[in-house]
Structure 1
Amino acid sequence: MDKIQNTLWSLLDGFILKVPTLLLALATLLIGLWLIKFLVRFLNNHLHKGKIDISLTNFLVSILKVILYVLLLVTVASTLGIETTSFVAILGAAGLAVGLALQGSLSNFAGGVLILLFKPFRVGHFISSSNNVDGTVLKIDILYTTLRAKNGTTLYAPNGPLANAVINNVSDNENRMQEYSIGISYQANIDQARKIIIATLQADPLVLKDPQPVVLVASLGDNAVNLTIRSWSANADFWPTYHRNFQLIKEALDQNGIGIPYPQREIHIIPPVTKLPE
């Protein structure tokens, strides 16, 4: 009986000695939880005010919460006198293993963060990239960007390679330049052809007056004088204007007798040399 009482008193004395440590750990836990809520709310509001994409905002807030809760757990354990060195080592090893196993996904995640932060393109933009991805952007997620290709199929492009590629954003500007390449015969009058082409483009109300259409001699080819024609229209009117005016330019040149020659070859036939009779 005395032995049991001594054990209980010993446990009570140990508990009393630990009370300050327990109170300190409890205070650390409560203050830490309050600080985590404050930091999460602050970051959430700041990202929303900065008009950061909602999916990126939610993901960053979730990552921050996990990191802060792990740090709080380690701090509280350390306050209670629990050895945390091995615990931190285990977390580090686990993080390294996960990182090695998910290298591609982490690359895509980093690319998604960069795309959502710097916004080289947005939903609805038509883009083409140096890694042969082109289409209209339907959705931008953390790991993948979804696009609709020209043929109507759906593309899922990993954000890692996409963020590191050269991106041509066709929809980013209000206006867009159309460029045509047409060859006229060497017998045709270049100035006359230029006036006809410019008049055809200026007759189209969708072709902008500023900048004005221009017609330039691009090269003297084997079969034709090659002209480069440039005009501008609103981005939304690009393709209808481009295809319609290509046809109208061809018809206008035909009506004025300016031909677009076919590939030609000149063949010189050398008669055989006949031997004189001896």
Structure 2
Amino acid sequence: MEPAEAASQIQDWLSNNQELIIHYAVNIAAALLTLVIGFVVVGMLTGGVNSLLKKRKVDSTIADFTTSLLKYGLLAFVIIAALSRVGVQTASFVAIVGAAGLAVGLALQGSLSNFAAGVLLISFRFFKAGDYIEGGGTAGTVQSVQVFTTILMTPDNRMIVVPNSKILNDNIINYSKEKTRRLDLVISVSYHADLRQVKALLNRVVLADDRVLKDPECNIAVSNLGNTAVEFIVRPWVNASDYWALKFDLLEQIKAEMDAQNIRMPYPNMDVHLIKDEVV
């Protein structure tokens, strides 16, 4: 076929199907416009819902989880509406999507278990945003619970993304649940030390700090007679927010006081005896 003849046939086809082309062009443009406007509206709506929930003092983990579900549901509705504009039969499309969803669901059982675990974590409230927890083989401050994952931040500002099912199926330790915590210290001293003197020193150092709570009472006692040292337990109760700062300060003060009173804190040592064989 000559190029001129092919061009003539294309022109004739365009002339004969002009209304059809205009119809589909308008529908495609409307579908694209629906997608753009829909995505913008969904973003504004979900952002507004999230802000409203947080203004109502709803826990941010619940707010973020609810917003995520709402966002994905609305986006699916926008996509279906856009497809209907270009002539796709949405009823058939929904059926196809349902069948595909079942197949994908069977293939992605882990993701579905993460979703279910996220719902359970939100429902039972084992922790909330801002709590420091240990779970799923890691630890950190909870930032949010997403549809499939939980976001943690470590004290050195690293983000950890943990699957929800991994947290739910593991032991969860929430260090921020209660307002007070018990600080457990083990102080070792030499067998030559005066135990009454050591106990009095520990009592004095601990009670001198205003961050130590008077109730419950601090427990100081000999806990173990080791191979090279006598071990004391020092267990004051503190506000959870003072835990780490008080621990570091008490260890420093106890060491300084023991040095001042010449109380030895032993460390592991080994005596080596060399025997020289005499050559006859």
What is the TM-score with the length of structure 1 in the denominator? 0.65
Contact 1:174 1:234 in 2 (8 A): yes
Task: State the distance in 1 between where 2:251 and 2:213 align.
Answer: 16
* Gap runs ≥5 in structure 2: 1-52, 75-93
1:125 match: 131
Cα-to-partner distance string for 1:67-114 (whole Å, 9 max, x where unaligned): xxxxxxxxxxxxxxxxxxxxx997875453121122121111011101
Contact 1:185 1:223 in 2 (8 A): yes
Please, which of 137, 155, 159 is the counterpart of residue 154 of structure 1? 159
State the secondary structure of the residue aligned to 2:129: coil
Write the mapping of 1:25-64 to structure 2, written as runs, cut at 5 A. 53-57=62-66
Please, which of 244, 247, 260 is the counterpart of residue 252 of structure 2? 247
Q: Describe the shift of the 1:259–1:90 C-alpha distance in structure 2 as closer, same or farther (beyond 3 A).
A: same
2:85 match: none
Measure how far apart 1:54 and its partner are. 3.3
1:177 aligns with 2:200: no
Cα-to-partner distance string for 1:151-197 (whole Å, 9 max, x where unaligned): 21111111111111101101110001111112100001112211110
Contact 1:198 1:214 in 2 (8 A): no
1:115 match: 121
**C-alpha RMSD over aligned residues:** 3.4
Identical positions, percent: 36
Measure how far apart 1:128 and its partner are. 1.0
2:46 match: none
The one-letter amino acid paired with 1:234 is: N
2:221 match: 216
The one-letter amino acid paired with 2:127 is: F
The one-letter amino acid paired with 2:182 is: M
The one-letter amino acid paired with 1:240 is: A
Contact 1:146 1:154 in 2 (8 A): yes
2:150 match: 145
Cα-to-partner distance string for 1:224-275 (whole Å, 9 max, x where unaligned): 1122211111011111111001100111122222110122334566787999
Count of aligned residue pairs for this structure pair? 209
Task: State the distance in 1 between where 2:232 and 2:269 align.
Answer: 18
State the secondary structure of the residue aligned to 1:211: coil
Runs of 4+ in 1 over 6 A off after TM superposition: 59-65, 88-92, 269-275
1:16 match: none
1:234 match: 239
* Gap runs ≥5 in structure 1: 1-47, 66-87
The one-letter amino acid paired with 1:137 is: V
1:96 aligns with 2:102: yes
Q: Describe the shift of the 1:136–1:57 C-alpha distance in structure 2 as closer, same or farther (beyond 3 A).
A: closer
2:205 match: 200
Q: After alignment, is 261-270 or 213-222 more displaced?
A: 261-270
State the secondary structure of the residue aligned to 2:236: strand
Task: State the distance in 2 between where 1:263 and 1:147 align.
Answer: 38
